[in-house]
Chains A and B, each alone.
Chain A
Amino acid sequence: MKILVCVKSVPDRQSSFRVNAAGTGYEESGLKFGVNEYDLFAMEEAVRIKERFREVEITAVTVGPPRAEAALRKAMSLGAADGVLIDDSNGRATSALAVASLIAAWSRDKKFDLVLCGVLSEDLQRGQTGPMLAQLLGLPCATTVAAEKISEDRKSITCERELEGGMRERVLLPLPALLTVQSGINTPRYASLTNVLRVKQLTIPSIPTASLGEIPNSETTLRACLPERSAICEFLEGDLDRIAEQLLEKVRARVPVW
Chain B
Amino acid sequence: MVSREILVVVEHRAGKLLPVSLELAAFGRQLAQIAGGSVMGVVLASPARSVAEEFAQSSGLPVLALENENFSAYNAEAYLRALARLVSERQPAFILIAHTAAGWDFAPRLAVAVSGSCSTGVAGFEAGVPIRFHRAICGGKISTEVAPILDTVAVVTMMPGAVKPTEPEAAGAVEVKSVEAGAGGTRALGLKQAPPRSLDLSRAEVIVAAGRGMGGPEHLGLIRELASLFDRGAVGASRPVVDAGWLPLEHQVGMTGQTVAPKLYLACGISGAIQHTMGMSRADLIVAVNTDPAAAIFSAAHLGIVQDLRRFLPVLIAKLRDKKEKKL
Which A residues have a C-beta under 8 Å from some C-beta of B?
Answer: 11, 13-17, 19, 24-26, 95-97, 100, 122-128, 130-132, 134-136, 140-144, 156, 158, 160-174, 183-184, 187, 217-227, 229-230, 232-236, 240-241, 243-245, 247-248, 250-251, 254-255, 257-258
* A187 cross-chain contacts in B, Cβ below 8 A: 244-245
- 1/0 per residue B168-210: CB within 8 Å of A? 0000000000000000111111111111000000000110000
Q: Tell me the B143-169 residues at the A interface (CB within 8 Å).
A: 143-150
| C-alpha gap A88/B207 in the complex (Å) | 46
* B132 cross-chain contacts in A, Cβ below 8 A: 222-223
* B184 cross-chain contacts in A, Cβ below 8 A: 140, 174
B302's nearest neighbour on chain A, judged by CB, is A232
11 A-B pairs with C-beta separation under 8 A: A127-B120, A131-B107, A142-B105, A156-B185, A163-B256, A165-B257, A218-B116, A219-B117, A248-B320, A257-B232, A257-B263
Per DSSP, are chain A's interface residues mostly helix, strand or loop, or mixed?
mixed
- CB contact under 8 A between A140 and B192, given known A17-B142, A226-B142: no
How many residues from B make CB contacts under 8 Å with A?
99
Q: How far is the CB of B277 from chain A (nearest CB, A)?
A: 11
* A166 cross-chain contacts in B, Cβ below 8 A: 194-195, 249, 252, 256-258
| C-alpha gap A236/B266 in the complex (Å) | 14
- Residue among B186, B288, B300 making CB contact with A172, cutoff 8 Å: B186
Is A236 touching B112 in the complex (CB atoms < 8 A)? no
- CB contact under 8 A between A258 and B303, given known A132-B109, A167-B193: no
* A172 cross-chain contacts in B, Cβ below 8 A: 185-187, 189
Q: Tell me the B61-119 residues at the A interface (CB within 8 Å).
A: 73-77, 100-102, 104-109, 111-113, 116-119
Q: How far is the CB of B255 from chain A (nearest CB, A)?
A: 6
* B195 cross-chain contacts in A, Cβ below 8 A: 166
| C-alpha gap A136/B302 in the complex (Å) | 45
Is B118 touching A218 in the complex (CB atoms < 8 A)? yes
Is B284 touching A254 in the complex (CB atoms < 8 A)? yes
- CB contact under 8 A between A183 and B239, given known A19-B142, A255-B263: yes
Is A169 touching B188 in the complex (CB atoms < 8 A)? yes
- CB contact under 8 A between A125 and B118, given known A140-B186, A142-B76, A169-B74: no
- CB contact under 8 A between A171 and B187, given known A13-B271, A97-B111, A219-B117: yes
Most chain B C-beta atoms within 10 Å of own C-beta, residue among A131, A164, A167, A184: A164
- CB contact under 8 A between A223 and B144, given known A125-B121, A244-B312, A245-B319: yes
Is A16 touching B193 in the complex (CB atoms < 8 A)? no
| C-alpha gap A127/B137 in the complex (Å) | 12
* B304 cross-chain contacts in A, Cβ below 8 A: 233-236
* A184 cross-chain contacts in B, Cβ below 8 A: 239, 242-243
Q: How far is the CB of B261 from chain A (nearest CB, A)?
A: 12
* A131 cross-chain contacts in B, Cβ below 8 A: 104-109
* B218 cross-chain contacts in A, Cβ below 8 A: none
* A257 cross-chain contacts in B, Cβ below 8 A: 205-206, 230-232, 263-264
- Residue among B121, B150, B242, B288 making CB contact with A218, cutoff 8 Å: B150
